[in-house]
Amino acid sequence: MIIVIGGPTGVGKTKLSVELAKKYNGVIINSDAMQVYKEMNIATAKIKEEEKENIPHYLFDICDLEDVYTIYNYQKDARKIIDENKDKTIIIVGGSGLYQKAALYDYKLDDETINTNKSFDDLTNEELYQLALKKDPLCDVHKNNRKRLIRVLNKKEVNHEKSKLLYDNAIFIGLTTSRENLYNIINKRVDKMVDEGLINEAKYFYDKNIKCKALDTVIGYKELFKYFSGEISKEEALDLIKKNSRHYAKRQYTWYNNQLPTIWVETNYDDFSKTVDEVIKIIEEKRS
């Protein structure tokens, strides 16, 4: 059995994955595109060692920051782990829905998913943005992020709609809550990250002057980098992190609703065990 746990940031996906792994003697596979990288811990809300409760966790901390880890790499690695654990329940958890779909559906990918020959020097940022939206209506790249827009345009086409599920024992669970509650949770989560050392973590990377895709992508670092360089105040940077996190959560909802057969479950923050019980009930009904 394969259980996929998705949904927006901050709804309790990690906690649910551990509880289900304990219930079903399972292993956990990360499907957060940024948690594959080492050192980026607080900003990515990566699970702590003590939270793993001796459950095998895969595809966390497998890359150095300068490594280029593509969806092709993830598809290959995740399927290998699935094949090696056929006798166990496999729990795939994270907010990168495309990684989950690439692992479980018949996406045809190769190690040349990006063709870097085209520079698009003759196009403005707005023109690049419109082309990116035409290619992928769910594109979440900001129109001023020229480098990432070019990366989107240079990726080979993948037909989302015609891909077929390869594993008929897969169950897709999405955790959710009201928008108002989610936004409050995200705001408080950012404050907690700051208390845990987010600013120091970001400053460590800033001082090293590392230039890589991973650091350019993670919400939390890029905003604080602007603070470190004097472009904005610390308060403005933290507000921007919260704003970008809220926008990202909204895009995650859109993606899951359009791309995966997600069964949504309302997170009970007062008694999370009730959320776990509801998910288990759904799983048992699907298995019967």
Distance CA 44, CA 19 (A): 21
Q: Phi and psi for 162 in degrees, rounded to 5?
A: -90, -5
Distance CA 27, CA 151 (A): 33
CA angle 285, 267, 238 (to 5 degrees): 145
Q: What residues have CB less than 8 Å from 41, skipping those under 6 apart? A: 201
| Token digits of residue 235 | 């308060």
Closest CA to 15 of 243, 82, 7: 7
Helix (H, G, I), strand (E, B), or coil: what is residue 250?
Answer: helix
Indicate the domain borders of the chain: 2-113+156-287, 114-155
Q: What is the CATH number of domain 2-113+156-287?
A: 3.40.50.300
pLDDT at 128: 82
Closest CA to 148 of 125, 179, 121, 175: 125
Asked if 220 and 237 count as a contact pair (C-beta separation under 8 A), the reply is no
pLDDT at 112: 44
Mean pLDDT for each 10-residue chunk of the chain (288 residues)?
Answer: 94 96 96 94 94 96 90 94 94 94 84 56 80 70 80 64 82 95 94 96 92 86 95 96 93 89 95 97 90
Backbone conformation region of residue 192, classed left if phi is above 0, alpha if psi is from -120 to 50, else beta: alpha
Asked if 174 and 262 count as a contact pair (C-beta separation under 8 A), the reply is yes
